[in-house]
Amino acid sequence: MDNNRTKRLNDYPPLMKCRQVAEVLGVSESTLSAWRRHGTGPIRPVISEGKTIRYSRTDIKRLIETGVSP
């Protein structure tokens, strides 16, 4: 587990914006967008309505803890 990323993750709200997720995971917002469009990638948004897209902080934490590379 990457303790620095996990500590940083705790500073974010329970439902995170794309920009926040990209920062924590070290990927671009374009990558997150591609994952959503193609249904690929290690995470999926919990809210995806129009321009409102949010990811669960718990899902992001689980991803980091399992050591899966985005």
What ranges do the domains of the chain cover? 3-66
Give the pTM. Answer: 0.81
When the pLDDT of each residue in the chain is averaged and rounded to a whole number, the result is 87
The answer on pLDDT for 43 being more than 50 is yes
**H helices within the chain, ranges in order?**
3-9, 18-25, 29-38, 57-66
How far is the C-alpha of 47 from the C-alpha of 7, rounded, in Å? 24
Flag the least confident range among 7-11, 13-17, 21-25: 7-11
**May I ask the CATH class of domain 3-66?**
mainly alpha
Tell me what pLDDT residue 4 has: 60
Question: Which residues have a Cβ under 8 Å from the Cβ of 60 and sit 6 or more positions away?
Answer: 9, 16, 21, 24, 25, 43
